[in-house]
Amino acid sequence: MNRKQFFKTTAVAIAGIAVGGSFVESCKKSSNGPQGPTVNFTIDLNSSTYSPLSVTGGYVYVQGVIIARISSLLDGFIAVAQTCTHNGCTVTFAAGSQSFVCPCHGGTYDLNGNVIAGPPPYPIKRYTVTRNGNILTVAG
Statement to judge: residues 113 and 62 lie in one domain: yes
6-52 pLDDT, tens digit per residue, is: 445 555 445 444 444 433 333 344 456 678 999 999 999 999 999 99
How many of the other CB atoms lie within 10 Å of CB of 40? 11
Statement to judge: residues 72 and 108 lie in one domain: yes
- Does residue 52 belong to any structural domain of this protein? yes
Instruction: Determine how β-strand 108-109 pairs with β-strand 99-101.
Output: antiparallel
Distance from C-alpha of 66 to C-alpha of 29, rounded to nearest angstrom: 25
Residue pair 55/69 in contact (Cβ under 8 Å)? The answer is yes
For the entire predicted model, the pTM comes to: 0.75
Statement to judge: residues 16 and 57 lie in one domain: no
What letter represents residue 95's amino acid?
A
| Number of residues that make up the chain | 140
